[in-house]
Amino acid sequence: MTTSPLHALVQAYDNRMQWTLSMDHLGRRGCSRHSFAPSALPAPDIKEIGTQTKEPHVLCVEAMVSGGISIIPIKAPCSYSSGSKITKDLVWSGVHPLDIIIASVDPATVNSGDPQWAFRTSIDWMFWTHEDQKKLDADEAKQ
């Protein structure tokens, strides 16, 4: 039986996600979820997202703030290429890859009283993959 290109795409995505999520650790060795100090994050680069925004995404870091978990916007709007670079910089500095959240808003609802947001991790967006993790692990082993 021949596999359709769309089915092959879905299977490739699922495989890459599973390879990444099944690794024995993610991020720098010893880093844990929500352990990065919000004060150590880079200065936010935030611009408004409107109905004409081409890339209606916001890169955020999930962190412990005042005893609760909150998201801190870092870059908006955020393209795929800038999100990928920022993610790699954040993970190398000690942020756990699952703490990097990409929030996407439906542009048609952005100025409504009820904007529709979807939240995904940097791994869902493939900003951090098993290849990135292997490179980080190899570089850490050299130090």
- Per-residue pLDDT tens, the chain, 143 aa: give them: 567 888 888 888 788 778 787 888 899 998 999 999 999 999 999 998 877 778 889 999 999 988 899 999 999 999 999 999 999 999 999 999 999 999 998 877 877 888 889 999 999 999 999 899 999 999 999 98
Structure pTM?
A: 0.85
Domain with 75 in it: 5-142
Structure tokens at 87: 């993610």
In this predicted structure, what is the pLDDT of residue 111? Answer: 78
In this predicted structure, what is the pLDDT of residue 2? Answer: 67
| Pairwise CA distance, residues 108 & 87, whole Å | 27
As for how many domains the chain has, the answer is 1
**What is the Cα 89 distance to its own chain's centre?**
11
In this predicted structure, what is the pLDDT of residue 4? Answer: 86
The one-letter amino acid at 50: G
| Pairwise CA distance, residues 126 & 116, whole Å | 22
Residue 74 in contact with residue 41, Cβ under 8 Å? yes
The one-letter amino acid at 133: Q
